[in-house]
Structure 1
Amino acid sequence: MIVFLSSVFFLSVIGIFFVHSAGSYWSEVHYKDSLPFAFKQASYLGVGILGALFIRNKQFVRLPMFWNGLYIISILLLIGVMIPGVGVVRNGSQSWISLGFMNFQPAELAKIAVLGKIAFSLSNEHKKKGIIYLKCALFLLIPISLIMIQPDFGSAFVLVVAAFFLLFAAGLPMKFFISIGLSGIIALILLIVSAPYRLVRIQAFLDPWQDPLGSGFQAIQSLLAIGPAGLFGFGYGNSRQKFLYLPEPQNDFIFSILLEETGFLGGLIVISAFVLFFTIGFSLAIRAKKRAGGFIIIGFISLLTVQTFLNMGVVTGLLPVTGVTLPFISYGGSSLVTTWGIIGVIWNLSSE
């Protein structure tokens, strides 16, 4: 557990340093100061760590009633975010609720609540499996539908894939995944065709130079950050793309800045820390004494694994651009605090 927590803390500290570096010029231009992003990120980290320590010894996370309540709250928040005057629109998506001192993204809480509720449902061995599978599908479908309305395709995709990992670990028959997979492919095609901006993103992924100042801009600027960095990069603080070339580089594309400044070796160190974290996390799930606890850990580690490699795939041009943060490293209070909440839950359940 010490190595597990150390890897998380290491990644979070790396995040503070690169939020400062990546967002320094953006902060100077928009806030007349180079410190706000790093200062806020450090504050969020402090809140997240305190939250994890609080959750660490609390019995309520081991009770199905807690996850039922959290699931209901997350659904209400997902509905509330769509109410005019409550939800905040950013980058074309109404996915945020303003709390004054920070913006909160209900989808981050929903990811945790949905996986926790599904995990406890799967642990009920005395019930008929067919009924359990239908319930799990319904528990997933409701929040996914609300998240897609915002729209937030990235969060919905991460949650669906993490849920599939969890269902696979629970031993669902392969025909279930084949049927759902085919349905998912058809639904994905319909979603892409129904929303012009998604089709534009696919086209930009296939050929970003077709529209270098529009749909392909972020992908191109990210590659221009990574490509020349070489083995060692340009050095900490010496990124060129953060000077308003890469939009809001402290957020989804922070890994581009990290690679630009530290090169291949720096990226390899960060990826190795993530792999260490994921490996230990899955081993904790295997060693969990209670079935529900093991399922929850699998769901949460799967969630962070999918989100991490989706983000890295986007910034390196291997996947189409989608708004998904890099866990522990990207700037954002709701992401960092809820992610550390996940760590607190895993810490708690692994000690059952």
Structure 2
Amino acid sequence: MEARLLRWLTFLWLSVGLVVVFSASYPIANIEHEDGLYYFKRQVIWMFVGMVGFNIIVRTPIPTILKSARIGLFSILGLLILTLVPGLGTTINGATRWISLGPLLLQPSELLKPFLVLQSACFFSQWYRLTWKTRLIWLGIFSLILLTILIQPNLSTTALCGMTLWLIALAAGLPLLYLGGTALGGILLATISISLNEYQKLRVLSFMNPWADPMNDGYQLIQSLLAVGSGGVWGTGLGLSQQKLFYLPIQYSDFIFAVYAEEFGFIGGILLLLLLGAYSTISLRVALNAHRIEHQLVAIGVMVVMVGQSILNIGVATGTLPTTGLPLPLFSYGGSSMIASLALAALLIRVARESNTAEVVSLKNPRLETRRRKSLSPKN
């Protein structure tokens, strides 16, 4: 039941996202590429690529998937390190987060998320059976991953990945003393990063008062708030957003929710939040019904990334949080984000499937099962 609901919710989420990408990107694509469908067509292509992985994951047992997590994690870590090598990483808007493969841009920090959820679930589920040497090695690997993303610089993704690791560890039952110390260390690291990076400091200051510099640092947030406020109760209608007409920057990615809110209004925003609420509720049910701790932790990790990242993106667009570069899963334009989001959704559906299978097996009548085995055994 949960697997079916999650599948339909994922497809609904994806379908609405494609419609919004089409609307948000059409004017700027028409000007920049003389093809209004430029971004939409590429998003559809990435969706089909992601659906291939989606179907493979849904049909693969979780134990088999967990075995590949370590290889995938180290492969993505290698790509993250390559982004920091001069001449190999691609810099956009002052951040070197991409690797260029001809006309394609891959963002390793996005592709990392499914493997991070899998490997952290595998690691923390075995915490009490591991030696301190093994624990420290893996904690060091996770720290290296977060540090590499932070250096790009990409504070928002570092924070999201750090929170994902922390919440999976909390769900696994790690001592609160360890978790409290890690949380304080993360806050200290974020404070240092903001102090050293001028653009991050300006983002925090502009978040607190965007109207202090409305044409520069506060411009993005002000235009986003104008878009959200212009939607009113019912919205202006699909395709009728005014702020996407070269006022709102990055309207088809980081601030795509602002376009959605302007065109579908307060009601549309509430419906999207209800979808996220339904997704998180079913995810928690899947986690509670799972019979193995690593399956439970995978479900919790997927929920944290998919729903948590969505809330962070919406918080930025509505001025609740400082401006970050986190995409809205299954909404924002971007191939790496699309592939990672579909892979995460597929992992959750797979966990739900295996939980349901386990329940069916456990409900079998023991007497009938014994009789069936006797009838199948060869007579002496």
TM-score by length of 2: 0.88
Number of aligned residue pairs: give it: 352
Is the 1:281–1:297 Cα contact (8 Å) retained in structure 2?
yes
Structure 2 residue identity aligned to 1:100: G
CA distance in 2, matches of 1:45, 1:171: 36
- Give the CA deviation at 1:149: 1.1
After superposition, residues 27-106 of structure 1 pair within 5 angstroms as 27-59=29-61, 62=64, 64-106=66-108
CA shift, 1:168, in A, is 0.8
Aligned to 2:169: 167
Could you say what secondary structure the match of 1:264 adopts?
helix
Please state if 1:338 is matched with 2:340: yes
- Counterpart code for 2:220: Q
Give runs of aligned pairs for residues 80-229 of structure 1, distance below 5 A: 80-124=82-126, 127-128=129-130, 134-229=136-231
Q: Does the Cα contact within 8 Å between 2:62 and 2:351 map onto a contact in 1?
A: no
Across the aligned residues of Structure 1 and Structure 2, the Cα RMSD in angstroms comes to: 1.7
- Distance in 2, matches of 1:71 and 1:47, equals 20
Residue by residue over 1:178-226, the C-alpha shift from the partner in whole angstroms, topping out at 9 and shown as x without a partner, is 2222222222221111111111111101110111111111000000111
Which secondary structure state, in structure 1, belongs to the residue aligned with residue 99 of structure 2? Answer: strand
Tell me, in whole angstroms, the C-alpha distance in 2 between the residues paired with 1:312 and 1:293: 29
- Distance (Å, rounded) in 2 between the aligned partners of 1:128 and 1:99: 39
1:225-264 correspondence runs (5 A): 225-264=227-266
- Contact 1:161 / 1:306 at 8 angstroms: preserved in 2? no
Encode CA deviations 1:63-88: one digit per residue, 9 max, x unaligned. Answer: 54311111110110101122233211
Gaps of 5+ in 2: 355-380
**1:230-309 counterparts in 2 under 5 A?**
230-309=232-311
CA distance 1:279–1:136, shift in 2 (3 Å)? farther
Q: What is the match of residue 366 of structure 2?
A: none
1-side partners of 2:103 and 2:345: how far apart? 24
Deviation at 1:136, TM superposition (A): 4.7
| Contact preservation (8 Å) 1:41, 1:333 | yes
Identical-pair percentage: 31
Matched, 1:318 2:320: yes
Is residue 113–residue 340 contact of structure 2 (8 Å, CA) maintained in 1? no
- Between 340-349 and 127-136, report the one with greater CA deviation: 127-136
Equivalent residue of 2:353, what SS?
A: coil
Distance 2:281 2:212 in 1: 40
What secondary structure, in the 3-state scheme, does the structure 1 residue paired with 2:90 have? strand
SS at match of 2:282: helix
Deviations 1:260-313 (A, max 9, x none): 011000111111112111211221122122221221221121112221111010
Cα deviation for residue 132 of structure 1 reads: 6.3
How far the C-alpha of 1:129 sits from its partner, in A, is 7.3
- Residue 88 of structure 1 aligns to a residue whose secondary structure is strand
- Rounded Cα–Cα distance in structure 1 between residues aligned with 2:103 and 2:352: 33
Structure showing greater radius of gyration is 2
Q: How far is 1:101 from its partner?
A: 4.4
CA distance in 1, matches of 2:90, 2:248: 23
Select between 80-89 and 155-164 the one with higher mean Cα deviation.
Answer: 80-89
Partner Cα distance (2:128, 2:206) in 1: 50
**Structure 1 residue corresponding to 2:26, chosen from 16, 24, 27:** 24
User: Would the aligned equivalents of 1:293 and 1:350 in 2 still touch at CA under 8 Å?
Assistant: no
What is the alpha-carbon distance in structure 1 between the residues aligned to residue 345 and residue 297 of structure 2?
15
Cα deviation digits, residues 60-119 of structure 1 (max 9, x gap)? 763543111111101101011222332111121110112334311000122222221121
Change (3 A) 1:116 1:223: same
Larger deviation, residues 127-136 vs 244-253: 127-136
Moved segments of 4+, more than 6 Å? none
